[in-house]
Amino acid sequence: MSLIPEFFPQVTGFEWDDGNSDKNRLRHRVTQPEAEQVFLNRPLLLAQSPGRTRVEVRYFALGRTDLDRHLAIVFAVKGALLRVISARPMSRRERRTYAQAQAA
């Protein structure tokens, strides 16, 4: 089963780094299950992140949880696994962008 087949057909699950998981929970109050839900719900907006890393390609996602919490996620794809790097509530500007995409 593919997690997000329209974007990354090879992705079948998640990989979590303890440091990133704790940071997201403590700093942004976003749990692992909430971050994962973003990739299971639609609409999901994705873009390649213009990040500073040369080691891996990073992506940026805007989506919502099952309880309609709107989150912004930075992630990388490592083989068949999606690794969440950062998860936080969307900014006002991101919420506007997401709302416009839902209306389209």
Work out how many domains the chain is built from and give that number.
1
Q: Is 56 a domain residue? A: yes
Residues above pLDDT 70, as percent of the chain: 95
Give a yes or no: residue 94 inside a domain.
yes
51 or 71, higher pLDDT? 71
CA distance 82 to 7: 12
Q: Is residue 5 part of a domain?
A: no
pLDDT at position 2: 62
Domain that holds residue 82: 13-103
Whole-model pTM above 0.75? yes
- How far from the centroid of its chain's Cα atoms is residue 100's Cα? 18
Q: What is the 3-state secondary structure (H, E, C) of 19-69?
A: HHHHHHHHHHCCCHHHHHHHCCCCCCEEEECCCCCCCCCEEEEEEECCCCC
Is residue 8 situated within a structural domain?
no
pLDDT digit string (tens) for 33-42? 999 999 999 9
Residue 51 pLDDT: 66
Whether 1 has a pLDDT exceeding 60, the answer reads no
- Is there a contact between 70 and 64 (Cβ–Cβ < 8 Å)? yes
What pLDDT digit, counting tens, does each position of 70-99 carry?
Answer: 999 999 999 999 999 999 999 999 999 999
